[in-house]
Amino acid sequence: MMVESLTTRMHISKAKTLLAFCISILLLFSGATSAKIEQPNIIKDLHYGEVLFHFYQEDYFTSIVHLLAARQLNRTSNHVPEDELLLGGIDLSYGLHKEATRIFDKLLQGNVRETIKNRAYYYLAKIYYQRGYLDESAGFLNNVSGPVQESIFGELKLLTGQVHMSQGKYDAAIASLDKWKAPKSYRHYANYNLGIAHTKRGNINTGIDYLKKVGKLKAKTETMRTLRDRANLASGLTLIQNDRPAESIKYLEKVRLDGLYSNLALLGIGWANSNANRHESALVPLMELRNRSPYHSEVQEGILALAHAYNEMGLFGRAVQAYEKAADIYLKEAQALSYSANEIQQGALVDALLDRTKGGPQMGWFWTLRDLPELPEVKYFTELLAEHEFHEALKNFRDLLFLKKNLRHWDENIEIYLTMLDTRKARYQKYLPLVQQRLNGLDLTKLQSQQDALSFAINEIENDNAFIELATAEEKRKLAQIEELEQRIELLKLQEPENNKISQMREKLELMRGIMRWQIHSAYIERKWNHKQDISEINKHLSITPDKSDSIKKAISESVEKFDEFEARILALHKEIKRLIPIADRVFEEQSRYLEHVAVKELKKREKILAGYEKHARYELASAYDAAASSASSGAKSVEPQEAKPKKRGWWPW
Amino acid sequence: MYKKFLLFLTCILLTYVCSVGADIGDLNASEDQDFQGLDEDIQVLKEEVLELNRDLYILEEELLYPSSTQVAVYVSVDVGDFFDLDSVQDTLNEKIVANYLYTEREVEALLRGGVHQIYIGNLPSGEHELIAYFVGRGPKGRDFKRGANRIIDKGLGAKYLELKITDRTPKHQPDFIVKEWE
C-alpha cells in the first residue's frame, strides 16, 4: 500500500512532467553526446562553417540570420542541400516548428541523397515526438533506410527507443536498443532506456541489471552524474513498487544528497524502510528531508510520512506534534502559494524577469533558464521551471524579449546608416571632379607608347652592353667633369709639353675615369634587373588600368543610383522595423499574460494538493490524539504522554 | 491502521490530483482559448524579425565592407589533439587588427567544425602581409605560441583568409596554415 502511495505519487508526478522529461532527455542526448561523437564537418564554404560556429554555441538567432544571408548571397553553394537541412535543424531548435517542417517536407520531395532524406526523417520524427504525435513520429522513423550520417545515428537510435517506449511498445524499444553496439557516449543512455523498458515490460531483474550498469558509472560530468542518480532512483523505486523495499535502499542511498533527485531519493528511502517495517530507519532520511525547503513537493510529502512513522512506532506524542507541524506547514505554504499566485497576477513575475534581464539587445538571448536565480518575488519559481508548459512559455517569453530589444536596437541605430550614406555622398561630390579630371587626362595609348619606348631602350642597352647608359646622374656628372678636366689638361699639355706634372694629372684622371666606369659596370647588372622589374611593374599596372578605369567610370555612373538604392533600402527596412515593433510589443504582452496564466495554474494546482495534505494531516492528527488517549488510559506503551496532550483547536470535534 | 492510512493517502492523492486536473481543465478551457493563436503569432513574428535581420546584415556588409575592398579572416581547428587554443592575434601590414580570446564554448564549437570570423575589414587591391599569432597549450600541456604569415594579393573581389590549426600526426605537433579563399 505504501508502495502504491509512492508509486501513485510518482505516476502523478510523471504524468505531469512526462513531456518535460521527454524533451529534456532528448535535449540531454543531443547536447551532451553529439559534441563527442559528431565528426567535425568538412567545410567547403567558410560562411557555412561560420554559421555552425554560432549554432554549436546554441546562438540560434545569429546562426539563422547568417545562414539566410549566406544562402541569399550564394555563399553556401558547396553545401547544397545540407545548408537547407541545417536551416531546418536550427529552425527546429529555435522553436520554428512550422518552418522546419516545411523545409524537411520540401527536401523529402526533392531528388536528394538517402543520407539527407534520412536526416530529414529524423528531424521530422523529432518534431512530431516533441509535440506528442507519437504515431506520426514512429512513421517517419520507419521511413529511415539505408545510410545514416554518423552524427545523427546515435540520436536516431535513442529517439526510436524513446518513441516506442512512449507508445508503450516496450518490446519494440528493447528490440531497437538491445543489439546496438552503442558508442561510449551513447551507451549509458541506451542502457538506461533498456533498463526502463525492461522494468516496464515486467522483466524486473533484467531491467535492474541494465540500470545497475548506469548506476555504477564513474561520471565525470554533471550530466552523467545526474543520469547515474536517475538510474539508481529508477532501480530503487522499481524495487519498492515490486515489494522488494529492503533491496531498494542500497540503490536509493547511492543518489547524491545534493543532486537533482536527492529529495525523491530520501523520500524513497523513508518509504522503503517504513514498508519493510523499519520505522526507526525511516526517521533519518525523513528528518533530513524535513529540514529542506518546504517548497518542494517531496519535502511536503515527507513531513506527512515522518508523522506517520512516529505514529507507527507508537510515539503518539511526536506523531501529534508532527501532524500539527505538517498541517501548519501545508496551511502556510498554501497561503504562500495563494499570495504568490496573486503577486504573479499583479505582474511580479514578469517584472522580476525583466529586472534580471536588463541590458543590451543580446541580453534577451543569452540568459539561459537554468541560470536564472530564485526570484524572491515569486515563491516556487524553481518548482515552476520543472513544469514543461511553464518552461516552454518562459522560453518564448525570453525569445520575444530578445526580439523586442533587437527591434528597438535597430530602430535607434538604423539612422546611423543614413548618416553614413550622407557622408559618403558628400565625399563623392567632393572628389568626383578630381577623379573625372584624372580620368579625362588619362591617355592609355600615350602611356603604352612611352612604356614601349622604355622597353626598347633597355633592350638596346642590353644588346649593346651600353652600361654607361644606366649610370646614375651623379656618376654621369662626375664622368662629365673628368672629361672636362681632360680637355683642359690637353690644352695645358699643348702649352707646356715638357711639364711632367701635367702628364701625371692626366694619368690620375684616366685612373679616375677607369674607377668610375668600373663602378658603373659593377652596378650594371643590378640596375638592368631593377629597370626591367620597373618596366614589368608598369606593364602590370598598364594592363589593369583599362579595367580599373572602366570600373571607376562604372562606379561613377552607378554611384548616384546606388546611393539612392541604399537609401531606399534603409528607409524600407526602417519602415518594416516600425511595423514590427508594435506587433512584438503586443505578442510579448500576450505571452507575459500567458506565462502568468501558466504559473498561476500550476500554483493553484499545487495549492489544492496542499489543501488535501492539510486535510489529511488534520484527520490523522485526530486519530493520533485518539490513539494517544487510548494508549494512556490502557497504560500501554506511551512515550512522552505529556507531548500527546492535544492543544485545543477549533476544528477538534470533541 | 497504517495500511489503512496509506490506502487513504493514495485515495486522497488520487482524488485531489484528479479533481484538480478536472477543475483546472474545465476552468482553463475558456482561459486557454484566449491564448489560442499565440504560438502561431510568435512563429510568424520570429520569422519576420529573422528576415529583417538578414536584410540588415546584408545591408551592413554592403555598406561597410563592399566586396571590392572586403577582406575577412576566419579561424578553424581541425582535430586539435596537439593544441588547445587560447587566443589568436592578427596583424595586417604590421597593424594589429584583431585580438581574440576564446571561451571554452567557442573552442568546442571550433572543434566540432565551426569557423570563427575573427576579422572583417577593407583593403585596397595589391599586396598585403598577414601575420597571425596563435597562443594556447601545445603537446604535454606546455605553453605554446606560434606565428604564421602570408603575403596576400588582393584583387578586385572580396578576399577570404582561413587561419587553420591542424595536427601534424607524425611529429605530434600542431600546424598553422594560412589558406586563401576566393
Report the residue from A4, A569, A604 with minimal CB separation from B10. Answer: A4
- Closest-CA residue of A relative to B161 is A46
Mean pLDDT of A274-288: 89
Residues 4-23 in B contacting A (C-alpha not used; CB under 8 Å): 5-10, 12-17, 19-21, 23
Mean pLDDT of A159-177: 91
ipTM of predicted complex: 0.87
Q: Is B46's Cβ below 8 Å from some Cβ in A?
A: yes
Nearest CA-CA distance, residue B124 and chain A, Å: 12
Tell me: pLDDT of B27 over 90.
Answer: no
Tell me: pLDDT of A352 over 50.
Answer: yes
State the DSSP H helix or E strand holding residue B178, giving kind and residue range, or none if neither.
strand B173-181
- Please report residues of A whose CB lies closer than 8 A to that of B181: 46
Residue with cell 583599362: A546
Rounded to whole angstroms, how far apart are CA atoms A377 and A375? 5
Decide if A53 and B8 are in contact by the 8 Å CB cutoff.
no
B96 pLDDT band, cuts 50/70/90, is very high
Mutate which: B1, B13, B178, vs A, most A CBs within 10 A = B13
Mean pLDDT of B84-106: 94
Residues 118-147 in B contacting A (C-alpha not used; CB under 8 Å): none
pLDDT at A336: 84
- Please report residues of B whose CB lies closer than 8 A to that of A611: 16
User: Which region, left, alpha or beta, applies to residue A163 given φ > 0 means left and ψ of -120 to 50 means alpha?
Assistant: alpha
pLDDT at B2: 46
Nearest CA-CA distance, residue B170 and chain A, Å: 21
Q: Is B93's Cβ below 8 Å from some Cβ in A?
A: no
Beta strand B70-77 with B126-137 is unpaired
Report the residue from B21, B51, B63 with minimal CB separation from A566. Answer: B63
- Please report residues of B whose CB lies closer than 8 A to that of A8: 10, 13-14
Decide if B16 and A46 are in contact by the 8 Å CB cutoff.
no
Rounded to whole angstroms, how far apart are CA atoms A613 and A624? 16
Report the residue from A72, A308, A414 with minimal CB separation from B58. Answer: A72
Decide if B45 and A414 are in contact by the 8 Å CB cutoff.
no
pTM of the model: 0.72
Q: Which three cell numbers stand for residue B22?
A: 478536472
Nearest CA-CA distance, residue B18 and chain A, Å: 9
Amino acid residing at A19 = L
The per-residue pLDDT for range A237-277, each reduced to its tens digit, is 999 889 898 899 999 999 998 888 899 999 999 989 988 88
Q: Using CA atoms of B89, B90, B96, B102 in order, give the dihedral in degrees to the nearest 10.
A: -30
pLDDT at A18: 31
- Please report residues of B whose CB lies closer than 8 A to that of A406: 49, 53
Burial class (CB in 10 A: 0-12, 13-18, 19+), B143: exposed
Tell me: pLDDT of B68 over 80.
Answer: yes
Decide if A400 and B45 are in contact by the 8 Å CB cutoff.
yes
pLDDT at A2: 37
Tell me: pLDDT of B122 over 90.
Answer: yes
- Please report residues of A whose CB lies closer than 8 A to that of B1: 311-312, 623
Tally Cβ neighbours within 10 Å of residue A588.
20
Decide if A311 and B8 are in contact by the 8 Å CB cutoff.
no
Decide if A46 and B38 are in contact by the 8 Å CB cutoff.
no
A634 pLDDT band, cuts 50/70/90, is low
The per-residue pLDDT for range A503-516, each reduced to its tens digit, is 888 889 899 999 99
Contact A120, A148 (CB under 8 A): no
Decide if A410 and B56 are in contact by the 8 Å CB cutoff.
yes
Tell me: pLDDT of A166 over 60.
Answer: yes
Sign of the alpha-carbon dihedral angle for A187, A90, A126, A261: positive
Q: Would you report the helix, strand and coil content of chain A in percent, each value rounded to 5?
A: 80, 0, 20
Tell me: pLDDT of B170 over 90.
Answer: no
Q: Which three cell numbers stand for residue B171?
A: 611529429
The per-residue pLDDT for range A183-223, each reduced to its tens digit, is 777 888 999 999 999 999 899 999 999 999 999 988 878 88
Decide if A96 and B113 are in contact by the 8 Å CB cutoff.
no
Rounded to whole angstroms, how far apart are CA atoms A422 and A469? 54
Decide if A609 and B8 are in contact by the 8 Å CB cutoff.
no
Decide if A53 and B3 are in contact by the 8 Å CB cutoff.
no
Nearest CA-CA distance, residue B144 and chain A, Å: 24
The per-residue pLDDT for range A79-121, each reduced to its tens digit, is 988 899 999 999 988 889 889 989 988 888 888 888 888 888 9
Nearest CA-CA distance, residue A250 and chain B, Å: 24
pLDDT at A301: 87
Residue with cell 533530513: A288
Tell me: pLDDT of A306 over 60.
Answer: yes
Q: Lowest-pLDDT range, A6-10, A124-128, A371-375?
A: A6-10
Report the residue from B13, B31, B39 with minimal CB separation from A597. Answer: B31
Decide if B12 and A4 are in contact by the 8 Å CB cutoff.
no
Contact B17, A10 (CB under 8 A): no
Q: How does the average pLDDT of chain A come out, rounded?
A: 82
Mutate which: A65, A79, A577, vs B, most B CBs within 10 A = A65
Q: Which three cell numbers stand for residue B175?
A: 600546424
Contact B6, A4 (CB under 8 A): yes
A377 pLDDT band, cuts 50/70/90, is low
Decide if A49 and B112 are in contact by the 8 Å CB cutoff.
no
Decide if A96 and B47 are in contact by the 8 Å CB cutoff.
yes
- % of chain A surpassing 90 pLDDT: 34
pLDDT at A367: 52
Q: Which residue has the higher pLDDT, A464 or B50?
A: B50
Rounded to whole angstroms, how far apart are CA atoms A350 and A346? 9
Residues in chain A: 654
Q: Lowest-pLDDT range, A581-595, A618-632, B51-65?
A: A618-632
Q: How far, in whole angstroms, is CA A592 from its chain's centroid? A: 24
Q: Lowest-pLDDT range, A21-25, A179-183, A404-408?
A: A21-25
Nearest CA-CA distance, residue A566 and chain B, Å: 8
Nearest CA-CA distance, residue A27 and chain B, Å: 17
- Please report residues of B whose CB lies closer than 8 A to that of A400: 42, 45
Decide if A414 and B56 are in contact by the 8 Å CB cutoff.
yes
